[in-house]
Amino acid sequence: MSKLLHFKGASDMPMISISLGNMDWNKTGAWRAQRPFYEDKTPPCRAACPAGNDIVAFIQKITQGDFEGAWNVIKEENPFPGICGRVCFHPCESKCNRGDYDEPIAIHALERFVSDFASKLNKRVEKVPGVRKEKVAIIGSGPAGMSCAYHLAKLYYDVTVFESLSLSGGMLRSGIPSYRLPKDVLDREISNIEALGVELRTGIALGENLAWDDLKDYQATFIATGAHQGRSLQIPGEKAKSVLSGLDLLRRINRNQKVKLGDKIAIIGGGNTAIDVARSVIRLGKKATILYRRSREEMPAFEDEMVEAIEEGVKIRYLTNPIRIQQKDGLKRLECLRIELGDKDESGRRRPVPISHSNFFIEADSVIIAAGEEIEVSFLPKGIEKREGIILTQRDGSTGIKGIFAGGDLTSNQRTVAHAIGSGKKVALAIHGYFNGKNTEEVIRQTLIGEGPSISIFRHLHPEDRPMDSHVVTFGELNTDYFEPSKRHQESKCPVKQRTKGFGEVTVTFPESIAVEEAERCFSCGTCNGCENCYVFCPDASILKTEDILSHQVDYDFCKGCGICFSECPRGAISLKEETR
Amino acid sequence: MKKIEIPSAENLGHGHLACAGCGAAVSMRLSLKALGEKTVMVFPASCWSIVPGFWPYSSFRIPVIHAGFVTGGATASGVRAALDIRGDRESVVAVWAGDGGTFDIGLQALSGAAERNEDFIYICNDNEGYMNTGTQQSSATPMFAWTTTTPVMQPKENPKKDIMAIMADHHIPYAATATIAYPEDLLRKIGKAKRIRGTRFIHLLSPCPPGWRVPSELTIRISRLAVRSRIFPLYEIENGITYTLQEESHVVPVKEYLKLQGRFSHLAEPEVEVIQKNAEKVWERLRRKAES
Amino acid sequence: MKKVITGNQAVAYGVILSRVEVISAYPITPQTTIVEELSELIASGRLNTRFLKVESEHSAMAALIGASTGGVRCFTATSSHGLAYMHEMLHWASGARLPIVLVNVNRAIAPPWNIWSDQSDSLSQRDTGWVQLYCENNQEVLDTILQAYRIAELTKLPVMVVLDAYVLSHTSEAVEIPTMEEVDPFLPPYCPEYPLDTHEPMAFSVIATPEYFLEFRYKIQKAMEQVPEIANKVDDEFRSRFGRSYAAIERYGKEEAEILLMTSGTVTSTSRMVIQKLIEKGTSVAGIKIKRFRPFPSEEICKEIKGAKKIAVIDRNLSAGVGGIFAQELKASLYSKEERPQIFGFISGLGGRDITPGLIEEAIEYTVEHPRPEEKILWLGLKK
């Protein structure tokens, strides 16, 4: 009954002013001065994730009870949810908008929950058959190399990964202890990648039993050899045989090889390696003290790690700088200076300034140096430059040599698993673009999440699905009237005594009900989650529901542009702009 | 996060003439979803004389009877009597009146009907003024508010009439306050009212963007702040004696509510203080009634 | 069955016999015994009628508007201030084309406070679009109510039945009261034009713009124009069933007369007596009883003038600034006619002052003696 009614006059009018039609013909959309529209924006967690995980999407799936769906979402971008869910430093949680309300979402724990759920179901990524002609060689089976292999294999390229050690995984296997990353989780996630048809050849080292020439059959090469050399302190006594490298020690512990250590262990350094070493030797029944030259605030190791280390009895002495290592009858003596902090240096941290004449001595049975990692470049071809500790590349990972790309710890000072995974994915996309004659810079730019640097390969493969504006949603743009404060769930931890008995996992995966509860705390910033406030509050019934609950449409025929939907969207997934005609 | 569940039937329709962001349109749309299709609605003169459209059209999808300004309670009494005589005990008779048609000119008819315990649901759509005629003051206009007949130099002196107390003293079976920012609460109260016989009264606060001088997108937020600031507490009164006061977990000072509205932009600190104290007094009184 | 009953009781019987379904009324002297009588009759279970004891006359009419829209037969009674209070709703009832019947007991409007017979209350409402029927005796009162529902439901116009305060309302007369079985075939159940139905929802009394309003008013006027024909048919049927008949006007007295006396209500019965006496004394006079005031029976009156040169009108009402209202309406009806007798407008009986045979005689004698009225308004019995 939406047509206009016409009357000749009294002869065909009813006796009284009784309604004979409805107002559907009156397109009140013509009143609009501003126009609302659905526009998903970038959630801050996703913008912060170096691996480019679609965090909000996988959390939404958890709230729907579709844990397998959550796993599929993660796997679109990241082959290693089980690994990240255990070892990632979760910058997503630091940026989580809920942190400005009460406590951030336990994203890290939720990622782990999803992966562990999938492992129980024995899930593997399905690969639809297809094949391309190009072959790619990847040097290094760490997180960067394997992430690149994963994405290239999903794009049907023929990938071979060359790993110099006898086991795959890079730093994941040799650097990170089992109590943080159990080997079976690592093996499972790597074998998932192999199941896509990636050939993994271990014990093959470039520059030793593999020459550059051998790689000419490959149309592109990705060098992801990482950083495995311990940095030197440049202090006297450092080179003594009994002064150990932290990385070496961890490698041996991770291979279950025996290590000879004294009782009191001094560890020099402040990063995750130092903490890993300290916590590992505690588990071997030793006492561990970390010496770090700045204060706790500047310590680069992950906060969670530090907290657990201290719980386990690791001592940390801050503002302590060893300047000499002496030995006498097996006992080590470290001469140290006290430090005070000066102005900030180029890393943004306050400069350590030694206090003269503050020399003091610390004694230890073993000294381990874990003061950072450096890259190895001897096997690299000419034309690839090292500058200030990294290999320089373009944003797309390409080096000075055509067809040769580099990434991961080799090319960056942000040395985390998540960054490496993101780097490998980005290079995979760059190689894909390179093979197809595309402008790879442009390809990458179009897949940036927010302002970057992480990318979403899903956006390249499905540009029409789940469009997302690059604006990163701030807390102020949310309507928190629809949220109630609630405590963040924490993964339960084993009691300290039990933890330090061996190398078993310290934390326990969320049970299902807790995971769902925690997932429901997610604000879903910038991303419609089907709450339907827009539909409920529209005065003109101009929000149309569609079959898919996450997809609503504004009925522009009738929308008057009041902006209530924009205002009442808790998550800023609706935008308002001036109506232009 | 929980989804707000509401029935899907659209008995108000679209293409209607309410202002963009009209609180009453949200109120009507939600209330009609709760009342359902077997409803006859009487509406005395108010914005709704215009909003559904001009003859020969009406955007309503239920039968409605436009009645004289004074007559909400009386006309509905007649409609109910007719339906009863015809043997229809199932259709709900509802009245939709503005604050003018309830607190002022319609008070007599409402009081008469309430005393007779007439069997209808009376919804007072309170936008705190005579908005259809251009924002003149009513006895529902809050103290100190600007309206065209209470200009800034001489804002409204007297507090808002306590219509709920008036209705309670008629000992009607059910009276409740509600507002659009709490749709499930509104739906629950109308649903509860539907299951009771006799005079049921809902005092529904509906912000009016042009009348309150508020941007149209803040209609729902203002409604929520009215409750959170305790200026408009949500509560129910059964049989005139049993009070159920709904606690609000996010209490805010009245300033948060007042500062968003142009009709209060002339307020000075002392006046805000008065409003704050009055709100607290009213809350205290309700709390004591709820406890006894 | 013949009973000796007051005018108010006759009203009550008329309402019950009409199977009225919803009554809504507020007490006001001298209507009160109507509602009291009805309450008792309903309480005794004689009828399935709802009686809404509303808190004011305005609400009484509003409630009936609601009930009539709801599709049931409705009734109210009032007087004087009550009718005035209902004024807004009287307009509404006719605009909404609802066949409501209202009994008004003619009483003066204050101040000064006065509870006695005066037509100013009902006549003040002459512009509200209601058919107005005036009664001379209690039998006519009962019979008019039955006819009123027929007329109302056929024309879709509300009908006001008027009787004098005290002279009829509280005075007993013999009345033949028909049985329900006799009335039912005359007055079939009410069937509304636009049913109130949740299955076929419609909006009633929607706002109409200048584009259409004129045509709605035109339709009301057209309905009014059909009242004479319809009322005649109804009266014909009434006569055949009940043996009694009430035309819009009734001429009595000399077949051809120089002077006509126009009256309404109970004044007519006194006039019949006076005119008879004057005819015997040789005066050339006839009487015209006006039963139907609205629509004003212009055509019928013109047919009955039959050469009379003067018409004396006794108005028991005053429209201050104009004079008697019946006189005014008569003058308006005759304006376009060939035959335009002189109109002598007399006003008497306001506020219940007795209109005695002496006063009526005085009016007729004045009319005889003067070629034209010397004043625009002739006040009968005025104490200067």
Distance from CA of B115 to the nearest CA of A (A): 32
Residue of B nearest to C208 (CA): B55
Is 90 exceeded by the pLDDT of residue A385?
no
Tell me the pLDDT of chain B averaged across its residues. 96
Question: Any idea where the domains of chain C sit in the sequence?
Answer: 2-242, 251-379
B220 vs A5, A7, A567: nearest CB: A567
Task: Give the residues across from A320 on adjacent strands.
Answer: A338
Residue B154's pLDDT band, with cuts at 50, 70 and 90, is confident
CA distance B34 to chain A (A): 13
A529 vs B: CB within 8 A: yes
**What does the alpha-carbon distance between residue A379 and residue A382 come to, in Å, rounded to a whole number?**
9
Element (H, E) at A354: strand A350-354
Residue B111 has pLDDT above 90, yes or no: yes
Question: Distance (Å, rounded) from C-alpha B10 to C-alpha A540?
Answer: 10
- Quote the longest CA-to-CA distance of chain C: 70
- Inform me whether the C-beta atom of residue B41 falls under 8 Å from chain A C-beta atoms: no
Q: How many domains does chain B have?
A: 1
Judged by CB atoms closer than 8 Å, whether chains meet at C216 and A13 is answered as yes
Q: What is the mean pLDDT of residues C360-380?
A: 95
- The CATH number corresponding to C2-242 among 3.40.50.1820, 3.40.50.970, 1.10.10.10, 3.30.420.10 equals 3.40.50.970
Would the CB atoms of B60 and C201 count as touching at under 8 Å? yes
Distance from CA of A498 to the nearest CA of B (A): 37
- CA-based nearest residue in chain A for residue C98: A16
pLDDT (tens digit per residue) in A275-299:
999 999 999 999 999 999 999 988 9
Tens of pLDDT, residues A519-534: 999 999 999 988 999 9
> Which of B16, B215, B250 shows the shortest C-beta gap to A23?
B16
Tokens of residue C320, six digits: 């201050």
- C89 to chain B: closest CA residue: B68
pLDDT-derived band at A384 (thresholds 50, 70, 90) equals confident
Q: What percent of chain A has pLDDT over 70?
A: 99
Determine phi and psi for B71, rounding to 5 degrees.
-105, 15
Residues of C in contact with B111 (CB under 8 A): 55
Residue A128: per-residue pLDDT: 64
Instruction: List the CATH number of the domain containing B149.
Output: 3.40.50.970
C-alpha distances out from residue A535 to A211, B190, B214, C169, Å: 64, 20, 22, 62
Question: Which among A198, A84, A68 is positioned nearest to A122, based on CA atoms?
Answer: A68
Locate the chain A residue with the closest alpha carbon to B33.
A536
The region of weakest confidence among A7-11, C81-85, C140-144 is A7-11
Q: Token digits for C57?
A: 């006359």
DSSP string, B115-127: HTT-S-EEEEEE-
A351 phi/psi in degrees, rounded to 5 = -70, 135
Q: Is the pLDDT of residue A466 over 80?
A: yes
CA atoms within 13 A on the CB side of A535: 21
pLDDT reading at A126 higher than 80: no
- B9 located within any domain: no
Domains, chain A, ordered by start: 28-40+528-578 (3.30.70.20), 44-123+472-520 (1.10.1060.10), 135-228+375-446 (3.50.50.60), 235-370 (3.50.50.60)
pLDDT more than 70, % of chain C:
100
pLDDT at A304 over 60: yes
Q: Do A13 and C215 touch (CB under 8 A)?
A: yes
Please name which of C381, C193, C201, C346 lies closest in space to residue C264, comparing C-alpha atoms: C346
Q: How far is A24 from chain C (nearest CA, A)?
A: 15
Q: Please enumerate in sequence order all residues whose Cβ is within 8 A of that of B42, keeping only pairs 6 or more positions apart, or say none.
A: B64, B65, B67, B72, B75, B76, B79, B93, B94, B95, B96, B120, C66
What is residue C44's predicted lDDT score, i.e. its pLDDT?
86
Is-contact A395 A444, C-beta < 8 A? yes
Q: Is C46 left (phi over 0), alpha (psi -120 to 50) or beta?
A: alpha
Task: Determine the residue among C154, C212, C214, C221 to mutate to test chain A binding: the one whose Cβ has the most chain A Cβ atoms within 10 Å.
Answer: C212
Across the range A97-122, mean pLDDT stands at 95
- Rounded to whole angstroms, the Cα distance separating C8 from B143 reads 51
For residue A569, list chain B residues with Cβ-Cβ distance below 8 A: none
Contact C222 A13 (CB under 8 A): no
**CA distance to partner chain A, nearest, from residue B171 (Å):** 33
Query: Going by C-beta distance under 8 Å and a sequence separation of 6 or more, which residues neighbour residue C51?
Result: C22, C23, C24, C25, C35, C38, C39, C42
For residues B200 and B121, is the Cβ–Cβ distance under 8 A?
yes
Indicate the pLDDT class of residue A549, thresholds 50, 70 and 90: low
Tokens of C310: 């003067």
Asked if the domains at C2-242 and C251-379 fall in one CATH topology, the answer is: yes
Chain A CB contacts of B224 below 8 Å: 481
Residue B237, domain extent: 23-291
The answer to whether the beta carbons of residues A144 and A409 sit under 8 Å apart is: yes
pLDDT-based confidence at residue A328 (cuts at 50, 70, 90): confident
Which residue of A481, A524, A538 is in closest CB contact with B224? A481
Give the mean pLDDT of A105-125.
Answer: 91
Instruction: Average the pLDDT over A58-73 and give the result.
Output: 95
Q: What is the DSSP letter of A191?
A: H
* C 206-245 near A (Cβ less than 8 A): 206-208, 212, 215-216, 218-219, 222
Residue B4 in any domain: the answer is no
Determine contact, residues A89/A180, Cβ cutoff 8 Å.
no
**What torsion do the CA atoms of A213, A216, A222, A228 make, to the nearest 10 degrees?**
-20
Quick one: pLDDT at residue B184? 96
Q: Which two tokens stand for residue B62?
A: 């239920």
**Domain assignment of residue B28, yes or no:** yes
Q: Is C95 on the interface with B (CB under 8 A)?
A: no
Looking at domain C251-379, its CATH class is alpha beta
C neighbours by CB contacts (3+ pairs under 8 Å):
A, B
State which residue of chain C sits closest to A16, comparing Cα positions.
Answer: C96
- pLDDT value at residue A381: 85
Task: Quote helix, strand, coil % in chain B, to nearest 5.
Answer: 40, 15, 45
Interface pTM, i.e. ipTM: 0.96
Distance, CA of B194 to CA of B93 (rounded, Å): 10
Q: For testing the chain C interface, which of B85, B115, B118, B119 should be mutated: the one with the most C CBs within 10 Å? A: B85
Give C-chain residues touching A19 at CB under 8 angstroms: 202-203, 206
